[in-house]
Amino acid sequence: MSNKRALRDNALLGLGLVLMVAALYMVFVYVPTEKNMGIVQRIFYFHVPIAWVSLLSFFITFIFSILYLWKREMKWDSVACASAEIGVVFTTLVLITGPIWAKPVWGIWWTWDARLSTSLVLWLIYVAYLLIRSFATEPARGARYGAVIGIVGFIDVPLVFLAVNLWRTQHPTTIVFEGGVTVPMLLTLIVCIVAFTTLYIILLVQSANLKIMDADIKHLKGMIQAE
């Protein structure tokens, strides 16, 4: 690994660490407790950035899937796949933190409103992405099929949201912060979003590099065995 890359990776890691510590401090110490929901409301500062990162990661998968089908270089596929894996993890977290927050606040674990339904369908689509890659008969095919699913699946997301939103406008159940969102809350939220996005970038860079190196090793092994 070249020195420049090591330096960049470590700088990124350091930045991520600082941001996360700052975020944790702000969430647990700095920001005042919300009036109606109490302490549980602090999940909001994790839940929203995680949801944002999951959407971002699937968007990245979408873009890099297109790039891969166009240019056919394995590195684009590695980024797309790494992003989808991270996205599935983050979407799983969204689907876990959401109900944990919902139960004390709404009294129910789950409801079929637009955002939750879309998150669930998103999770299902990208789990299918990972499954198709692992069930493909060769890696090149897996990459191709994965790219197709990455494109087709992402286009579905706004459609699902639209359909379920229309379905559920008869039963609005959005969370209302009484007294609005104050400045400390907004600040904390922004710091958390930046911290989690940095985490995503760190994970993406590491994971994608690992996959690229893995592909290189396989290629070299193939060349050695062929002799």
Provide the binding-site residues for other proteins, judged by CB under 8 A: 69, 117, 121, 124-125, 127-128, 131-132, 135-137, 141, 144-145, 147-149, 151-153, 155-156, 159-160, 162-164, 166-167
Q: Is residue 192 classed as helix, strand or coil in its secondary structure? A: helix
| Minimum separation from the CB atom of position 130 to other proteins (A) | 11
Closer to other proteins by CB, 117 or 198: give it.
117
Burial of 178 (0-12, 13-18, 19+ CB in 10 A): exposed
Cα–Cα distance list, 81 to 76, 163, 211 (Å): 9, 28, 9
User: CB-wise, 36 or 173, nearer to other proteins?
Assistant: 173
Spatial neighbors of 153 by CB under 8 A, at least 6 apart, are 58, 125, 126, 128, 129
Q: How far is the CB of 163 from other proteins (least distance, A)?
A: 4
Q: Give the residue with the Cβ less far from other proteins, 42 or 75.
A: 75
Minimum distance of other proteins from residue 78's CB (angstroms): 18
- The tokens describing 117, both together, are 């339904």
Smallest separation (angstroms) from other proteins to the CB of 135: 4
- Report, in Å, the least distance between residue 66 CB and other proteins: 10
Nearer to other proteins (CB atom), residue 59 or residue 145: 145
Nearer to other proteins, 81 or 164 (CB): 164
Quote the CA–CA distance of 86 and 78 in Å, as a whole number.
12
Nearest partner of 145 among 128, 124, 157, 122, judged by Cα: 128
